[in-house]
Amino acid sequence: MSDKESAPASRGARPAVHPAAPGPHTAAGQRTTADQRTGAVHPAGPLVAIGITCGIAWAAGFRSYMVELVGPASTFSWWGTFGAILLPGAIAGGLLGWAEALRRAGGRRGWRWLALAPLALAIAPLIMPGAVAALLTEGLGGGAIAVSLMGIGGGYALSRRGPLWARLVCGLVSAALAAALVLAGPGIAGARLAFTEPRGAWFAVLTASFIVVLALASSIPHRTARSGDHTTPDRTAPHRTTPDRTAQPR
């Protein structure tokens, strides 16, 4: 067949059209958009549960610090141990876990106030009957306040956010309070917790490590929030092609 005979057929033929990619208004496009949004939102429940668990573990472990200071005279009670120590640990851990969930989701207004979560460690013991009077007259309970301040200040110092001088001040104050807690061992218990003895060295490592862990967890609300997930178009999806009109005979 000659070129002249094939020309009319070429003019009358319609260009091949591939199936169009699912757009934002199609059902498939709506499902894809919904999946992307669901993947971009991080559920807070699991992270809050992890935070609560870590907070309880931290508070239960730090209770051994108090036992070492007091010695055999240390006692346990439902309110004093669970209500004033473990419960605030769970609250602080849960709030910091929530802060991590919000950070992964891009943050929201006022979410950085969760950096004050360690204050739960200081407020709960003061609710006990006579605790405020004992704090003002005998200084009892000041250690819990110092621990909270160390967590807040240390978290800000480790966050890499804010003015350098402010982070240095918070870091130095937190380090000074941490040193005071460590030195309280031999200062209160005497030779039993001397740093030259294995038990005293263990006590110093225990105290310092718990303070560092608290500061690291408290730095979560100061960290940079993640931006929304950005997805690139799927180039392997079917798409509409434009026929090459230059190749068609005229």
Return the ∠ at Cα 44 (arms to 40 and 47), rounded to 5°: 110
Calpha distance 81→87 (Å, rounded)? 9
Location of structure tokens 């992964």: 104
Q: Which of 29-33, 160-164, 185-189, 246-250 shows the lowest per-residue confidence on average (mean pLDDT)?
A: 29-33
Confirm if 84 and 135 have CB atoms less than 8 A apart. no
Instruction: Look at the pTM and tell me if it is higher than 0.95.
Output: no
The per-residue pLDDT for range 183-192, each reduced to its tens digit, is 988 988 888 8
Q: Exposure pattern of 165-189 as b/e (b: 16+ CB <10 Å)?
A: eebeebbeebbebbeebbebbbeeb
Categorize the per-residue pLDDT at 71 as very low, low, confident or very high, splitting at 50, 70 and 90: confident
Calpha distance 75→67 (Å, rounded)? 8
Calpha distance 80→125 (Å, rounded)? 8
15 φ, ψ to 5°? -65, 145
